[in-house]
Amino acid sequence: MRRVIFHLPDGSKVEKEVKEGQSVLDVLGEEGLKGGFVARAGGRLFDLFVPIPEDVSEIDILDFSDRDGKEVFWHSSAHVLAQAVKRLWPDAKLTVGPPIENGFFYDIDFGGRTLTPEDLQRIEEEAKKVIEADYPVKREEWPAEKAKEFFRERGEDYKVLLIEEFGEPVVSVYHQGEFTDLCRGPHIHRTGVIGAFKVTTVSSAYWKGDPNNPSLQRIYGVSFPTQEQLDEYLKMLEEAKKRDHRVLGRQLDLFNFYEEAGAGFVFWHPKGTAVRFAIEDYIKREHIKDGYTFVITPHVLSGKLWEISGHLNYYQKNMFVFEKDGQTYAVKPMNCPAHILIYKSKVHSYRDLPVRLAELGTVYRYELSGVLHGLMRVRGFTQDDAHIFAAPDQVEEEVRRVLALMKRILGRFGFKDFEVELSIWDPNRPEEYMGTPQMWKQAINSLKNALEAEGFSYEVEEGEAAFYGPKIDVKLKDALGRRWQCTTVQVDFNLPRRFNATYVGPDGKEHFVVMIHRAILGSIERFFGILIEHYAGDFPLWLAPVQARVIPIKDAFAEYARSVKERLEEAGFRVEIDDRNERLSYKIRDAETQKVPYILVVGKREVESGTVSVRRRKEGDLGAMKVEELIERMRREVDD
């Protein structure tokens, strides 16, 4: 008998005596869970219906408001979806069904069948029957051979392949009603916990993402504890459709993709380029103020460089590699090795550090066609990339500077709300990481201290660090509350050693420099897509591709309209003139559709008075203004 403290979803806690072999459900009962459906202790998640681990003295009971709880909820919902599919199509073969950012999916082999909207409706109705049945969920551990035989008999070939890939002597399976699935878990304790369930869409996918493998149907869904939450989510989805950057990109003539040029390569049209220049000019100024020096490095580099960095061994499938004159070359997938060469071009003393090198560097990565998605996933993109070469005792201050710069830059674009993750090593497996335990401890503490000093709360992700160092990932929230991964700060012990990048310390000896990889926006392309959706294409004045459009009422006033355009352009604004032979109402409506912030109408009265009639988008008619007065107003708005 031992005592365990349970932290409940409503913020309360209770201490209970726990006998050997008892589960959380045994101890608390259904009502004592306070709406929770999975347990967490010491960073580990486990089912409410399995024996409480012996080494646990405190347990968090999680509900849908917790990120881990939400993932378990959606993972369990994927099992419900699969159970519904197997009832309707018993010969369908299941692959994997993970939770994702907003819901879940399950990849299923239907033997060449393409699902219809009617099929999706049938799946949803059957899934609701599974939920209504309120099946208890049970977990079992089976010898791998028993599990393979079980799934082989049922024609679940992909499950057999997965068990063989695991290479583990024992695997776990979950049962609910007549349905059994291979899964590590954990899961909700009964299917009735799911209060609302929706099948959203279907797309094609390939097993393991390889086009040479069988084609699958990827069925997407989402679920919530209550119908009200689902209704709210569906409302958000409708709004997101209106804001789709791919649709608005065409409507506003910002960018495009061309089939004959190849998938995943962005063509920036003049208006999109104007916005991009505004973004780049701003972030360049901010970086220079913060002590960065800009560099430009080649797009194509020798394969020898990528051998040293390790990319040819570990990343080649994502690279564009080619042979020329008997030598291997690669289009760069990242800028890091090139920046190291610049750093190494001269000897550095500890007095020179930190060295901050920045580049708006365009890189190219081979992404499978199935994952390409507008500006959000492309094959060629420009990173607001920078690398900081620092001594170990400078890491904390440099990370603080990066976080402060991030707040300043993203705040200028209208983003104030962030979620932060700190990925650290698993100290129980030091052999899987580069660097000494002391180096890792110092680096992790530096990141933690920097986050806390800059006022960020954060989630620690143990075991999620790269082998070469810990990292910070920052997700911003847009106008619809969606999270987007943008800023990243990574500490790297690896590349400096691969390239022998050093500095001379106060002791006169050479020491390996610490390399900090960081990006604020991530990629210009993806960030532009986020901005389009955040603002629904209605950019603030400083970012608007066309900041003002001058409309003469008649041809007789076109010359005056052109003079207004020239004066605004001299003041630094992006201006168009619409002198088409169309009705005034049509031209105003077109400017509104194009989301032009300022519409300037000129006629006889404006010519005689030296003014313009001003309409501000979303504000309406502002009356007549002198051009100088308008310029001052627009400058104040840009600076605000």
Cα distance between residue 310 and residue 327, in whole Å: 17
For residue 2, the model assigns a pLDDT of 86
Estimate the share of the chain in helix, then strand, then coil, as percent rounded to the nearest 5: 40, 30, 30
* Residue 76 domain-assigned (yes or no): yes
Pick the catalytic residue: 47, 187, 243, 336?
Answer: 336
Look at residue 534 and give its three-state secondary structure. Answer: helix
Tokens of 510: 């050479």
* Residue 265 domain-assigned (yes or no): no
Q: Write the CA distances from 121 to 76, 154, 198, integer angstroms.
A: 20, 26, 9
Query: Do 442 and 477 belong together in one domain?
Result: yes
Q: Please tell me the number of Cα atoms within 13 Å of 107 on its side-chain side.
A: 16
Beta bridge partners, 386, equal 358, 518
Query: Do 171 and 109 belong together in one domain?
Result: yes
Nearest to 18 by CA among 33, 3, 32: 3
For residue 10, indicate whether it is catalytic. Answer: no
For residue 594, indicate whether it is catalytic. Answer: no
Residues 348-379 have pLDDT tens digits of: 999 999 999 999 999 999 988 778 899 999 99
* Cβ atoms 640, 541 nearer than 8 A: no
> Strand runs (DSSP E) across 547-587, as ranges?
548-552, 575-577
Q: Please tell me the number of Cα atoms within 13 Å of 345 on its side-chain side.
A: 7
Query: Do 326 and 343 belong together in one domain?
Result: no
* Residue 258 domain-assigned (yes or no): no
* Cβ atoms 614, 623 nearer than 8 A: yes
Nearest to 245 by CA among 487, 592, 482, 578: 482
pTM of structure: 0.84
* Residue 575 domain-assigned (yes or no): yes
For residue 250, the model assigns a pLDDT of 95
* Residue 514 domain-assigned (yes or no): yes
Pick the catalytic residue: 176, 383, 442, 594?
Answer: 383
Query: Do 484 and 508 belong together in one domain?
Result: yes
* Residue 188 domain-assigned (yes or no): yes
Look at residue 484 and give its three-state secondary structure. Answer: strand
Query: Do 304 and 281 belong together in one domain?
Result: no
Tokens 């910070």 belong to 472
Helix (H) or strand (E) holding 568: helix 558-570
3-class secondary structure per residue, 116-167 = CHHHHHHHHHHHHHHHHHCCEEEEEEEEHHHHHHHHHHCCCHHHHHHHHHHC
Give the gyration radius of the chain's Cα atoms. 29
* Residue 259 domain-assigned (yes or no): no
pLDDT(503) > 80: yes
Nearest to 233 by CA among 198, 276, 194: 198
For residue 157, the model assigns a pLDDT of 96
For residue 378, the model assigns a pLDDT of 95
pLDDT(470) > 90: yes
pLDDT(438) > 90: no
For residue 451, the model assigns a pLDDT of 96
What string of DSSP letters covers 566-606?
HHHHHTT--EEE---SS-HHHHHHHHHHTT-SEEEEE-HHH
* Cβ atoms 148, 161 nearer than 8 A: no
For residue 183, indicate whether it is catalytic. Answer: no
> Strand runs (DSSP E) across 391-509, as ranges?
418-424, 459-462, 471-477, 483-492, 502-504
Nearest to 362 by CA among 387, 333, 340, 341: 333
Cα distance between residue 557 and residue 609, in whole Å: 13
For residue 365, indicate whether it is catalytic. Answer: yes
Neighbours of 243 (CB within 10 A): 19
pLDDT(622) > 80: yes
Pick the catalytic residue: 385, 473, 478, 578?
Answer: 385
Residues 38-63 have pLDDT tens digits of: 999 987 899 999 999 988 899 999 99
For residue 50, the model assigns a pLDDT of 96
The predicted model gives 380-399 an average pLDDT of 96
Q: Any idea what the CATH number is for the domain that residue 592 is in?
A: 3.40.50.800
For residue 42, the model assigns a pLDDT of 82
Query: Do 54 and 90 belong together in one domain?
Result: no
Tokens 């060295």 belong to 355
Q: Write the CA distances from 477 to 47, 125, 223, 354, integer angstroms.
A: 31, 33, 21, 31
For residue 187, indicate whether it is catalytic. Answer: no
Tokens of 473: 């990932």
Query: Do 74 and 32 belong together in one domain?
Result: no
For residue 373, the model assigns a pLDDT of 92
Tokens of 457: 């709360």
For residue 435, the model assigns a pLDDT of 79
Query: Do 98 and 200 belong together in one domain?
Result: yes
Amino acid (1-letter code) at residue 352: D
Residues 544-578 have pLDDT tens digits of: 999 999 999 999 999 999 999 999 999 999 999 99
Residues 443-459 have pLDDT tens digits of: 999 999 999 999 999 99
Pick the catalytic residue: 517, 518, 565, 595?
Answer: 517
For residue 43, the model assigns a pLDDT of 79
Amino acid (1-letter code) at residue 528: F
Cα distance between residue 176 and residue 82, in whole Å: 11
Provide the number of structural domains found in the chain.
Answer: 5
Query: Do 57 and 86 belong together in one domain?
Result: no
The DSSP output letter for 466 is: B
Residues 86-97 have pLDDT tens digits of: 999 999 999 999
The predicted model gives 596-609 an average pLDDT of 96
| Structural domain boundaries enclosing 323 | 300-331
Pick the catalytic residue: 86, 198, 387, 595?
Answer: 387
* Domain finish residue from 331, 349, 374: 331
Pick the catalytic residue: 271, 379, 471, 534?
Answer: 471
Q: pLDDT band for 208, please (50, 70, 90 cuts).
A: confident
Sign for the CA dihedral angle at 584, 590, 592, 594 comes to negative
Tokens of 269: 């049209």
What is the residue-averaged pLDDT of the chain? 95
Angle between helices 67-88 and 117-133 (to 10 degrees): 110
Look at residue 349 and give its three-state secondary structure. Answer: strand
Q: Any idea what the CATH number is for the domain that residue 37 is in?
A: 3.10.20
Q: pLDDT band for 176, please (50, 70, 90 cuts).
A: very high
Query: Do 362 and 442 belong together in one domain?
Result: yes
Query: Do 577 and 455 belong together in one domain?
Result: no
* Domain finish residue from 63, 80, 112: 63
Cα distance between residue 151 and residue 297, in whole Å: 53
pLDDT(144) > 80: yes
* Residue 262 domain-assigned (yes or no): no
Amino acid (1-letter code) at residue 44: R
Q: Please tell me the number of Cα atoms within 13 Å of 121 on its side-chain side.
A: 3
What string of DSSP letters covers 2-52?
EEEEEE-TTS-EEEEEE-TT-BHHHHHHHHHTTT--EEEETTEEE-TTSBP
Cα distance between residue 410 and residue 416, in whole Å: 7
Pick the catalytic residue: 148, 365, 448, 526?
Answer: 365
Sign for the CA dihedral angle at 443, 447, 452, 458 comes to negative
For residue 436, the model assigns a pLDDT of 83
Q: pLDDT band for 35, please (50, 70, 90 cuts).
A: very high
Query: Do 523 and 414 belong together in one domain?
Result: yes
> Strand runs (DSSP E) across 269-368, as ranges?
293-294, 300-302, 320-324, 327-331, 355-364
Q: Any idea what the CATH number is for the domain that residue 236 is in?
A: 3.30.980.10
